[in-house]
Amino acid sequence: MSDTDFSGQAVLITGGASGIGYAAAQAFAKRGARIAIADLNQDTAQAQAATLGDGHIGLGGDVSTEATADRLVSATMDAFGRIDVLINCAGMSDTFLDTIDQTAEHWQRLIDVHLTGTFVMSKRAAREMIAAGYGVVINISSIAGILALPRRNAYTAAKHGIVGLTRNLACEWAQKGIRVNAIAPGYIRTPLVQNLIDQGKIDEKKIRRRTPLGEMLPPSAIADAMIFLASPLARTVTGVNLPVDGGYTVYGGMVDAAEIED
């Protein structure tokens, strides 16, 4: 059995019906895991789970509430009898408004989904993991958890918060057999990001020029990092925020990082 064989393990993925979450579902299912895809729309979650083959489930709910967190974890336990890996991938896009035009309602909603959702899901899943003496939690931060993204206050604050939460939980649960890490994706070509490109809110060419690898990474690049962090290969890795961004966050030059064709 290889270090990246997840046969017999159960993986719960919030925001798992599209983008990075669905890429993760495909990657873990390919390696033998049983997948619980959780998404806001249950029908969508069930349809996407069905594409993975037999033995996977789709669940619906708003991850920002403790009641939903309890229901999602309980349903995963009922279906599989265990939960080995939790991936907190549920999220939503921020506004691109000047700060003085942003609303507290939008701020709170985004914080609730990204940060509070990560907290309540991790807390509830940890009960099962502590009882089993083993578990892996992977949170999705962002380059916005490392850098400033002006006019995207709620998103930036939430992602920085996820990094802090990841470090706290990693230290608290290390002796209980639970590893907690975060991944900080760069601009990944998900349906959400593609929509922002199409709306003219993100300039793809500028991003590629700013990225040393000169490309926007596919969702599978993040899934590959998740496979590593969830595997025995990373058995001594906990509390990290791993950038998977093509070098975006380390580049500080005065000129373009990469030459690309227009």
Q: What is the mean pLDDT of residues 224-251?
A: 98
CATH class assigned to 10-187+219-237 = alpha beta
Are 73 and 120 a contacting pair, CB within 8 Å? no
Are 226 and 87 a contacting pair, CB within 8 Å? yes
Q: In the predicted model, what is the mean pLDDT of the chain? A: 96
pLDDT at 191 over 90: no
pLDDT at 93 over 90: no
pLDDT at 148 over 90: yes
Question: What local confidence, expressed as pLDDT, does residue 186 receive?
Answer: 95
Are 251 and 206 a contacting pair, CB within 8 Å? no
Question: What local confidence, expressed as pLDDT, does residue 56 receive?
Answer: 98
Selected catalytic residue, list 22, 134, 155, 187: 155
Question: What local confidence, expressed as pLDDT, does residue 230 receive?
Answer: 98
Using one digit for the tens of pLDDT, what is the confidence trace for 103-134?
999 999 999 999 999 999 999 999 999 999 99
Domain positions in the chain: 10-187+219-237
CA distance 42 to 248: 35
- Under the banding of pLDDT at 50, 70 and 90, the label for residue 262 is low
Residue 22: active-site member: no
Return the beta strands (E) in the chain as ranges.
10-14, 34-39, 57-60, 85-88, 135-140, 178-185, 241-244
Q: What is the mean pLDDT of residues 23-48?
A: 98
> Among 1-10, 77-86, 145-154, 252-261, which range has the highest average pLDDT?
77-86
